[in-house]
Amino acid sequence: MTFDPDLLPDGGMLWLDASGPEGNIVLSTRVRLARNLAGRRFTIRAEPADCDTVLAEVERASRASQQLRDAPVIRLQDMDLIERQLLHERRLVSRELAGLEGEGDRGVRPGSALLTDGVVGVMVNEEDHVRLQCLKSGFALDEAYADLERLDAELGKELAFSFHEEFGYLTSCPTNTGTGLRASVLIHLPGLVLTKEIAKVLRGLSQVGLTFRGLYGEGSEVVGNFFQLSNQTTLGKSEEDLLDHLGDMVRKVIEYEEQARHILQRDAPNVIADKVWRAYGLLRYARSLSFEETMNLLSGVRLGVGLNLISDVSVYTLNKLLIFTQPAHLAWRAKKGLDDPDLPMMRASYTRQLLEAEVAR
């Protein structure tokens, strides 16, 4: 089978439309729940046959649910490297599930699969048997969790999840034990970076049990001033406490970011205008762009849009560029390899095309 990445509604990324709250500063909210099937070995120790059984079980349960009744089962084993990386670039599967952990392509575990309707989804045979996830536009922790809770309850009717009276949900890695919940918010903080306040803010977050990462989760570097803020621990707290705490902190960060932007606009309006328009000019006309430069330029333009300096680009297009200019997206589109030397040219060409279409709109 050749996987069709456009099988999913909006490529599996309904959050791109920037329709959610604070959609300009907060790109998306993600919540996931880790679950394992009682009486079965954790994925990491399982035989291939066990994994297949887990997938069959989850598929059966999904069919009985409201949300995933019609969701296609995307089996990662049938997919080549570019297709799996493409799903990862869309933030629909983890590096682990896509078999991208460590050096190069180590292949995927049997029974690795994704079921999703474009908002909620299930990764099967990841580090845990089941990882329920929800990805929403903007700052929407409660809404994302509500969707997920419903799915969790529905699947829980069909599947016996491994649960311990004292510890809560049992997971492959102890850091997830308890609620199995991890929530994260992808947030754009150019104001705090430009005013050099960012280190202080991140330090403050780590003191209250939150952590930050780059666009691609654990271990990924921060580029383009895009930060993923998330809770660090899950044991000993209720889901509501975890979400409330993260929500309060993110609200504060949004406030700091807005203050920083206000200060920049007040004290250095010309420098800022020059910066954001130069970013736009380069994206509009460059013939070769690295992904990192693209992220940085998109960050500049997004700031310009946020400050009402640039009006001929939508946040939707900026979100789309962030995802579709990644290596696997470009390589897949052009039917080339991930190491093709022309990728930077394709990236520039794709970017120009989208920005020109915006102006013509």
Between 280 and 332, CB nearer to a second copy:
280
Q: Rounded to an integer, what distance in angstroms lies between the CA atom of residue 235 and that of residue 294?
A: 38
**Positive or negative: CA dihedral 19, 70, 121, 240:** positive
Listed residue (214, 348, 349) closest to 293, CA to CA = 348
Between 97 and 301, CB nearer to a second copy:
301
CB of 270 to a second copy, least distance (A): 6
Between 87 and 286, CB nearer to a second copy:
286
Between 58 and 297, CB nearer to a second copy:
297
Residues of this chain that interact with a second copy (CB under 8 A) are 270-271, 273-274, 277-278, 280-288, 345, 348
CB of 271 to a second copy, least distance (A): 7
CB of 312 to a second copy, least distance (A): 11
Contact by Cβ (8 Å): 246, 141: yes
User: Who contacts 308 (Cβ-Cβ below 8 Å, separation ≥6)?
Assistant: none
Helix H or strand E segment including 185: strand 181-188
Between 2 and 270, CB nearer to a second copy:
270
CB of 288 to a second copy, least distance (A): 4
Q: Rounded to an integer, what distance in angstroms lies between the CA atom of residue 155 and that of residue 151?
A: 6
CB of 275 to a second copy, least distance (A): 8
Q: Rounded to an integer, what distance in angstroms lies between the CA atom of residue 296 and that of residue 9?
A: 28
CB of 266 to a second copy, least distance (A): 17
Q: Rounded to an integer, what distance in angstroms lies between the CA atom of residue 217 and that of residue 332?
A: 23
Q: Rounded to an integer, what distance in angstroms lies between the CA atom of residue 253 and that of residue 269?
A: 22
Listed residue (199, 215, 205, 292) closest to 30, CA to CA = 215
Q: Rounded to an integer, what distance in angstroms lies between the CA atom of residue 228 and that of residue 245?
A: 15
Between 249 and 348, CB nearer to a second copy:
348
Between 63 and 352, CB nearer to a second copy:
352
User: Who contacts 152 (Cβ-Cβ below 8 Å, separation ≥6)?
Assistant: 33, 35, 132
Q: Rounded to an integer, what distance in angstroms lies between the CA atom of residue 259 and that of residue 194?
A: 12
Q: What is the DSSP letter of 26?
A: E
Between 90 and 275, CB nearer to a second copy:
275
CB of 279 to a second copy, least distance (A): 9
CB of 294 to a second copy, least distance (A): 13
Residue with tokens 């999840």: 161
Q: Rounded to an integer, what distance in angstroms lies between the CA atom of residue 123 and that of residue 116?
A: 9
